[in-house]
Structure 1
Amino acid sequence: MATIRAFKAVRPTKELSHMVAALPYDVMNSEEAREMVKDNPYSFLHVDRAEVNLPHSVNIYDESVYKKAREILHNMIEKSVFIEDKKPCLYVYRQTMNGRSQTGLVACVSIDDYINNRVKKHEHTRPDKEQDRINHVNYCDANTGPIFLTYREEHNISEIIDEWTERQPVYNFVAEDGIGHTAWVIDDKNVVDRLTALFKKVQYLYIADGHHRAASAARVGLLRREEKPNYTGEEEFNFFLSVIFPDSHLRIMDYNRVVKDLNGLKLEKFLEKVEENFYIFPRSNNEPYRPEAKHTFGLYVEGKWYKLESKEGTFDEENPIERLDVSILQKNLLYPVLGIEDERTDKRIGFVGGIRGLKELEKRANNDMKVAFSLYPTTVEDIMDIADIGEVMPPKSTWFEPKLRSGLFIHKLT
Structure 2
Amino acid sequence: MAQIIPFKAVRPARDKVGLVPTRPFQEYAVEEVKFQLEHNPFSFLHILNPGYKFQKEISGSERFQLVKNRYLEFKEEGIFIQDEVPAYYIYKTISRNQVYSGIIAATSANDYENDVIRKHEDTISHREQLFKDYLKTVGFNTEPVLLTYPDSDVINEITSEVMQERPEYEFSSLNRDVHYLWIVNDPERTEKIREEFAQMEAVYIADGHHRSASSWLLAKESKEKNPQHTGEEPYNFFLSYMIAQSNLKLYEFNRLIKDLNGLGKKEFLMQLDEWFRIENRGTEFYKPSKKHHFSMYLDGEYYSLYLRKTNYEFTDSLSTLDPYILYIKVLRPLLRIEDLKNDHRISYLPGRNESFDVKKQVDEGNFAVGFGMLPLTFDEIKQIADAGLTMPPKSTCIEPKLRSGLTVYEF
Short-chain TM bin: over 0.9
SS in 2 for 1:132: helix
> Quick check: 2:251–2:351 contact (8 Å CA) kept in 1?
yes
Give 1:10-159 correspondences, 5 Å limit.
10-27=10-27, 33-34=33-34, 36-53=36-53, 55=55, 57-58=57-58, 60=59, 62-159=60-157
Matched with 1:171 is 169
Change (3 A) 1:288 1:14: farther
* Distance apart, 1:84 and its partner CA: 0.8
Q: 2-side partners of 1:26 and 1:49: how far apart?
A: 12
Q: 2-side partners of 1:64 and 1:87: how far apart?
A: 33
Residue number among 376, 398, 406 corresponding to 1:400 in the alignment = 398
Matched with 1:361 is 358
* Distance apart, 1:24 and its partner CA: 2.0
Which has the larger displacement, 262-271 or 111-120? Answer: 262-271
Change (3 A) 1:179 1:294: farther
TM-score (norm 2): 0.94
Matched with 1:379 is 377
TM-score (norm 1): 0.93
Matched with 2:265 is 267
Matched with 2:337 is 340
> Quick check: 1:289–1:374 contact (8 Å CA) kept in 2?
no
Matched with 1:370 is 368
SS in 2 for 1:394: coil
SS in 2 for 1:299: strand
SS in 2 for 1:305: strand
> Quick check: 2:324–2:391 contact (8 Å CA) kept in 1?
no
> Quick check: 1:315–1:322 contact (8 Å CA) kept in 2?
no
AA aligned opposite 2:360: K
Change (3 A) 1:341 1:235: closer
* Distance apart, 1:80 and its partner CA: 1.0
SS in 2 for 1:20: coil
Matched with 2:306 is 309
> Quick check: 2:88–2:105 contact (8 Å CA) kept in 1?
yes
* Distance apart, 1:317 and its partner CA: 4.4
AA aligned opposite 1:331: I
Which has the larger displacement, 174-183 or 396-405? Answer: 174-183
> Quick check: 1:25–1:49 contact (8 Å CA) kept in 2?
no
Change (3 A) 1:51 1:29: farther
* Distance apart, 1:27 and its partner CA: 4.2
> Quick check: 2:3–2:111 contact (8 Å CA) kept in 1?
yes
Q: 2-side partners of 1:155 and 1:40: how far apart?
A: 41
* Distance apart, 1:128 and its partner CA: 2.7
Change (3 A) 1:32 1:259: farther
SS in 2 for 1:340: coil
Which has the larger displacement, 350-359 or 311-320? Answer: 311-320
Q: 2-side partners of 1:80 and 1:189: how far apart?
A: 28
AA aligned opposite 2:136: N
* Distance apart, 1:262 and its partner CA: 1.4
Residue number among 272, 286, 290 corresponding to 1:289 in the alignment = 286
* Distance apart, 1:341 and its partner CA: 2.8
Change (3 A) 1:52 1:295: farther
Change (3 A) 1:317 1:53: farther
* Distance apart, 1:336 and its partner CA: 2.6
AA aligned opposite 2:186: D
Change (3 A) 1:211 1:35: farther
Matched with 1:255 is 253
* Distance apart, 1:318 and its partner CA: 5.5
Matched with 1:180 is 178
Which has the larger displacement, 328-337 or 111-120? Answer: 328-337
Query: For structure 1, which runs of at least 5 residues remain unmatched after alignment?
Result: none
> Quick check: 1:314–1:332 contact (8 Å CA) kept in 2?
no
Identity %: 34
Q: 2-side partners of 1:289 and 1:68: how far apart?
A: 50
* Distance apart, 1:315 and its partner CA: 4.1
Q: 1-side partners of 2:327 and 2:201: how far apart?
A: 33
Q: 2-side partners of 1:11 and 1:57: how far apart?
A: 27
Q: 1-side partners of 2:385 and 2:52: how far apart?
A: 36
* Distance apart, 1:37 and its partner CA: 3.5
> Quick check: 1:299–1:374 contact (8 Å CA) kept in 2?
yes
Residue number among 309, 312, 318 corresponding to 1:321 in the alignment = 318
